[in-house]
């Protein structure tokens, strides 16, 4: 737990000590609490605007130590000076920072801000397991499939099937059939890449412990080639999932793309949502139902009420007649 000094002179020494502590841990590490520091200018509302140099201390710590700010839900500001009107100042001084190893272990971790009516700070709690559920996932063509010539045959066989109906109906049926056959082929040909890697590593260890006769040496060479291919597939898989296209250096590891994917998914996920009546809900089924109800009512109403910010989201393309 963290409680940083509020005096300006002690803040830099506090951050330097915190960085030394973080660098001494090779395993998963999290620091959470009141840092009495801002990470970015948007962490403050009201009062004098802060410059980027005012957030340099904590941001420098996060950048140099490779720390990640855990995603939060709830009120965006932790602390308030409890004043009214223009004199009111709110800041996000409390947070949880974690290293990449911690993120690998708890990829769905979430920081929740709870309301408080007495203290000038509100309580925060880290939940290591977010709302996951077995939600349906859209079909995506994997780049690793192109490394196997059989993928072309799977699509060709699905495309040869004749369906009665209009050209558009036949096209949709063939696309659907190709999707189903690619899924089945993926399970039989690729399966779980990480499980296969562990399995081949185990076989390789057993072979290396055996007699170095010509037969075992040949098996060892074949297993090494298989490992290289599986590792390449894993890298391509996570590179595609991370959606990072501007980095092409061969020095980038699979772990980098995996962590990028985890961080992007956490940033894009909706774990909690506040309804129009002020009630907070969680769980993808309940949140999905709330979205569906809102837009059903919006599009079925003869006099829909469109929020001002939503109405200005799409620019007008038709100019008024003169």
pLDDT in tens, 138-189: 788 877 788 778 888 889 988 999 888 899 999 999 999 999 988 888 877 7
Structure token digits, residue 46: 């009201």
Residue closest to 11 by CA, chosen among 43, 31, 30, 37: 37
pTM (2 d.p.)? 0.50
CATH homologous superfamily, domain 2-127? Endonuclease/exonuclease/phosphatase (3.60.10.10)
pLDDT of residue 56: 64
Structure token digits, residue 301: 């109403």
Residue 251's pLDDT band, with cuts at 50, 70 and 90, is very low
As a whole number, the mean pLDDT across the chain is 78
Looking only at the bridges linking them, the beta strands covering 110-113 and 72-73 are parallel
pLDDT of residue 239: 66
| Pairwise pLDDT comparison (56 vs 244), residue with the higher score | 56
Contacts of 306 (CB under 8 A, 6+ apart): 298
Helix pair 193-208, 214-242: axis angle to 10 deg: 160
Residue closest to 280 by CA, chosen among 67, 41, 110: 110
What's the whole-number mean pLDDT along residues 92-108?
Answer: 85
pLDDT in tens, 190-243: 666 667 777 777 787 777 777 777 887 788 788 788 777 777 777 766 665 655
127 DSSP β-pair partners? 110
CATH 3.60.10.10 positions along the chain are 2-127
């Amino acid at each position: 737990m963290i409680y940083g000094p509020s005096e300006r002179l002690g803040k830099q020494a506090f951050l330097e000590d915190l960085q030394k502590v973080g660098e001494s841990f090779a395993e998963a590490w999290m620091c959470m609490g009141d840092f009495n520091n801002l990470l970015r200018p948007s962490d403050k509302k009201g009062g004098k605007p802060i410059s980027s140099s005012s957030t340099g201390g904590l941001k420098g710590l996060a950048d140099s130590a490779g720390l990640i700010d855990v995603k939060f839900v709830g009120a965006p500001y932790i602390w308030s000076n409890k004043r009214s009107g223009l004199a009111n100042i709110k800041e996000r001084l409390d947070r949880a920072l974690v290293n990449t190893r911690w993120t690998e272990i708890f990829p769905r971790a979430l920081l929740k801000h709870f309301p408080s009516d007495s203290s000038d700070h509100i309580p925060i709690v880290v939940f290591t397991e977010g709302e996951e559920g077995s939600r349906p996932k859209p079909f995506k063509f994997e780049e690793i499939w192109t490394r196997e010539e059989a993928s072309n045959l799977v699509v060709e066989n699905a495309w040869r099937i004749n369906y009665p109906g209009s050209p558009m109906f036949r096209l949709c049926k063939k696309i659907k059939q190709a999707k189903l056959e690619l899924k089945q082929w993926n399970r039989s040909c690729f399966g779980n890449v990480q499980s296969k890697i562990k399995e081949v590593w185990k076989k390789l260890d057993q072979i290396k412990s055996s007699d170095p006769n010509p037969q075992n040496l040949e098996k060892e060479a074949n297993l090494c080639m298989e490992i290289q291919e599986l590792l390449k597939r894993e890298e391509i898989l996570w590179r595609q999932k991370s959606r990072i296209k501007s980095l092409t250096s061969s020095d980038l590891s699979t772990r980098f793309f995996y962590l990028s994917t985890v961080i992007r998914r956490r940033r894009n996920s909706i774990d909690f949502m506040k309804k129009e009546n002020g009630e907070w809900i969680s769980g993808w089924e309940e949140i999905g139902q709330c979205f569906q109800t809102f837009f059903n009512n919006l599009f079925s109403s003869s006099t829909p009420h469109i929020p001002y910010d939503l109405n200005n989201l799409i620019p007008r393309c038709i100019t008024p007649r003169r």
